[in-house]
């Protein structure tokens, strides 16, 4: 969590004492499998260091060769540039310059990065073909100007070809400096092939060059084919090459001969071309954006029209000019950078404004692979077919497919659901349960986990799982307990799934995170209720009831008073009863609360029990387990060396009573499915 020691720079050797473990692999549908991703890169362990005191430099190490020294030189240069930007510019400006010059988006605040994503212009922050084209143009102009100063060179060589060849070295160096990711390598290969074609007087086919770039990348790294970066990068360029000319050919303003000496005519033409390029790239990448990120920006066109020129033709040239000046004349470099920050201010204010517009982004469930294939086949037919009838059918097909992307049929399937299912989601050390009830009601009970800073289980785990189930809207979210490992993922779900109601326990917490959750719920116009002792959600075939709290509806406004004490025994105890099974969700209640419920002779008998307090020994008393008498007990907890969840005592009590324990950390998602007058249990890790 601390700062990296400033004395250790790329190329220095050091020894570190850390704690290593195997990365956790996803066991549920729709989740990014971090363990598999690292294994593909030959990384099998991840580690953490608790203090900078455990990091020590090594004075002497064996020589590592010329290649290692060169790679360290690249990294040192990258570090020097990054440090100069951080020391010279305000934090936001420095972070944006580090992104557009070095491809490092780690310093951009999460809110600002989300604003770029919501506005559909996050690609501007990645090194791409535009960077290479601009840098190549500047380098060629410089070399061509210098070559014309020499009469001998002008008489003995082709100054244009010589200038092109001289661009190769700087472009290679910049590729390494920018991190050598897929879009950068693709841009480099296309630039080199363009230069080669120019120098040997061969015609330049954009699609041939693009295909060659893809082939070379796949030969080097075949697994990059399935990465979002590879797919989006090549789909965007291919769409621009194939679609833009056809759209422009139908525009009278583009067919007309502009008088280029008139500035307003030139601006109109360039604006039209920018709009068409943006539309073309959006058409080509839309299914991939939905497939990988489950979102579509509705403001991408106005965002790109303003942001692309400001970044690419103002901030970026200033950055390119400032980089060499950092090593030659730092004060001049600072002046150039600060001139470029004017455009960054305009961009950030504009992007933040667009991102706050209601419905600026549409969150949609997963789409089927067959729909993507149908979309792209139809698109190719529209572009390439000479038959008017085939084009008409292709346009109708692609229109239907687009409607499916935004309003997937899976949502209708949920409404037509005739059986009930409950999924205990593997969120790690936390709790989240998804109820998909007959008739289409979707209810989420809790959504939280103990995680590292910057990782939100609602955004990274729960939302992808819901989308994989075809869920685009939640009816109710029930929070059983005001602990972060029960609620810290809810805020991320409020906008993505637009729940109608949030049910919370009456006795609350004064934790800042909990206040933030309530504020976000009010901001998104979610009705907040305290459920009463008894049934509070009732459908034809299922009922949700609370065993322990009176009702009160929170007045909707900008804020409301939070009062009461926060302890585990304030948890809502929720009972679900369907035609096929019953489940008890007791939150984090302690053994003391369990005894009180037994003494009050509450109706505790259920088929399935979500283990109180994640299977802790402070809960799950033998008397309580005997009274509930479940066939299955689900423990929502991370497994590993920690034996507290579930505890040995809890395991022993369950074994004596003949209760089958399933743990999300071991079994993955545990799903209860009602059928044939009873139910069955499925797990994502293995079948029980």
What are the pLDDT digits (tens) for 12-54? 888 999 999 888 777 666 677 788 888 888 899 998 888 888 9
Which residues lie below 8 Å from residue 169, measured CB to CB, with a gap of 6+? none
Question: What's the whole-model pTM score?
Answer: 0.84
Q: Find the DSSP H helices in 507-550.
A: 512-523
- Confidence category of residue 197, pLDDT binned at 50, 70, 90: confident
Helix axes 316-328, 91-102, angle to 10 degrees: 100
Which residues lie below 8 Å from residue 535, measured CB to CB, with a gap of 6+? 543, 544, 545
Task: Name which residue leads in pLDDT, 320 or 405.
Answer: 320
What are the pLDDT digits (tens) for 545-579? 988 754 444 444 444 444 444 478 888 899 999 99
What are the pLDDT digits (tens) for 405-455? 777 666 666 677 788 999 999 998 899 999 999 888 999 999 999 877 778
**Which backbone phi and psi does 663 adopt, to 5 degrees?**
-115, 130
pLDDT at 251: 66
Range 297-311 average pLDDT: 90
Q: Give the integer Cα–Cα distance in Å for 113 and 125.
A: 9
- Confidence category of residue 465, pLDDT binned at 50, 70, 90: very high
- Confidence category of residue 585, pLDDT binned at 50, 70, 90: very high
Range 117-144 average pLDDT: 87
Scored b (16 or more CB within 10 A) or e, 638-649 reads bbeeeeebbbee
At residue 327, does pLDDT exceed 50?
Answer: yes
pLDDT at 507: 64
Task: Name which residue leads in pLDDT, 301 or 556.
Answer: 301
At residue 322, does pLDDT exceed 50?
Answer: yes
pLDDT at 303: 92
CB atoms within 10 A of CB 443: 24
pLDDT at 549: 53
Closest CA to 194 of 161, 240, 243, 224: 161
Range 615-628 average pLDDT: 92
pLDDT at 586: 93
To 5 degrees, how large is the angle CA 11–CA 15–CA 16? 120
Work out the percent of the chain whose per-residue pLDDT is above 90.
38
Task: Name which residue leads in pLDDT, 487 or 153.
Answer: 487
pLDDT at 423: 95
What are the pLDDT digits (tens) for 282-296? 899 989 988 888 888
Write out the E strands in 234-311: 295-297
């Amino acid at each position: 969590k601390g700062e990296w020691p400033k004395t250790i720079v790329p190329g220095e050797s050091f020894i570190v004492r850390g704690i290593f473990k195997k990365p956790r692999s996803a066991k549920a549908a729709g989740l990014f499998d971090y363990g598999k991703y690292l294994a593909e890169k030959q990384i099998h362990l991840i580690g953490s260091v608790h203090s900078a005191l455990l990091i020590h430099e090594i004075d002497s190490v064996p020589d590592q060769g010329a290649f290692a020294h060169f790679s360290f030189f690249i990294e040192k240069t990258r570090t020097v540039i990054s440090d100069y930007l951080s020391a010279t510019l305000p934090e936001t400006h420095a972070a944006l310059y580090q992104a557009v010059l070095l491809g490092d988006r780690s310093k951009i605040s999460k809110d600002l990065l989300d604003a770029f994503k919501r506005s559909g212009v996050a690609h501007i922050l990645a090194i791409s073909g535009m960077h290479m084209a601009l840098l190549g143009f500047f380098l060629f102009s410089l070399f061509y100007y210098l070559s014309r100063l020499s009469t001998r060179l002008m008489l003995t060589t082709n100054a244009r070809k010589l200038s092109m060849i001289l661009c190769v070295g700087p472009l290679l160096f910049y590729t390494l400096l920018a991190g050598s990711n897929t879009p950068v390598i693709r841009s480099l290969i296309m630039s080199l092939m363009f230069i080669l074609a120019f120098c040997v007087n061969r015609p330049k086919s954009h699609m041939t060059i693009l295909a060659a770039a893809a082939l070379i990348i796949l030969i080097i790294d075949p697994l990059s084919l399935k990465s979002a970066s590879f797919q989006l990068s090549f789909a965007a360029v291919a769409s621009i090459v194939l679609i833009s000319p056809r759209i422009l050919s139908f525009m009278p303003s583009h067919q007309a001969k502009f008088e280029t000496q008139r500035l307003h005519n030139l601006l109109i033409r360039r604006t039209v071309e920018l709009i068409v390029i943006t539309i073309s790239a959006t058409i080509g990448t839309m299914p991939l954006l939905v497939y990988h990120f489950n979102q579509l920006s509705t403001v991408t066109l106005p965002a790109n029209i303003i942001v692309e020129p400001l970044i690419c033709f103002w901030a970026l040239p200033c950055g390119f000019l400032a980089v060499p000046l950092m090593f030659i004349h730092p004060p001049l470099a600072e002046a150039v950078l600060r001139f470029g920050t004017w455009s960054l201010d305009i961009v950030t204010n504009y992007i933040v404004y667009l991102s706050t517009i209601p419905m600026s982004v549409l969150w949609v469930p997963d789409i089927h692979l067959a729909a993507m294939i149908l979309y792209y086949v139809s698109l190719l037919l529209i572009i390439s077919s000479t038959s008017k009838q085939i084009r008409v059918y292709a346009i109708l097909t692609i229109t239907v497919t687009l409607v499916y992307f935004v309003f997937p049929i899976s949502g209708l399937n949920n409404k037509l659901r005739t059986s009930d299912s409950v999924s205990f989601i593997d969120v790690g050390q936390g709790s989240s349960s998804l109820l998909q009830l007959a008739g289409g009601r979707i209810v989420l009970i809790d959504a939280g986990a103990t995680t590292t800073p910057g990782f939100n289980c609602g955004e990274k785990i729960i939302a992808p799982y819901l989308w994989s189930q075809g869920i685009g809207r939640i009816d109710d979210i029930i929070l059983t307990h005001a602990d972060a490992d029960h609620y810290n993922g809810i805020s991320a779900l409020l906008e993505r799934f637009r729940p109608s109601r949030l049910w919370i326990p009456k006795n609350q917490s004064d934790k800042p995170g909990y206040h933030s959750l309530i504020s976000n719920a009010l901001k998104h116009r979610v009705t907040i209720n305290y459920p009463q002792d008894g049934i509070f959600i009732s459908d034809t075939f299922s009922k949700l009831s609370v065993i322990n709290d009176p009702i009160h509806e929170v007045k909707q406004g900008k804020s409301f008073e939070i009062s009461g004490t926060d302890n585990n025994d304030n948890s809502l105890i929720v009972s679900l009863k369907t035609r096929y099974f019953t489940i008890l969700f007791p939150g984090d209640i302690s053994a003391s609360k369990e005894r009180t419920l037994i003494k009050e002779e509450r109706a505790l008998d259920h088929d399935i029990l979500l283990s109180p307090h994640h299977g802790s020994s402070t809960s799950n008393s033998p008397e309580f387990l005997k009274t509930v008498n479940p066939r299955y007990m689900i423990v929502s907890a991370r497994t590993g060396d920690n034996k507290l969840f579930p505890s040995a005592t809890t395991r022993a009590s369950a074994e004596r009573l003949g209760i089958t324990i399933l743990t999300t950390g071991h079994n993955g998602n545990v799903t209860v499915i009602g059928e044939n007058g009873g139910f069955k249990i499925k797990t994502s890790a293995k079948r029980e």
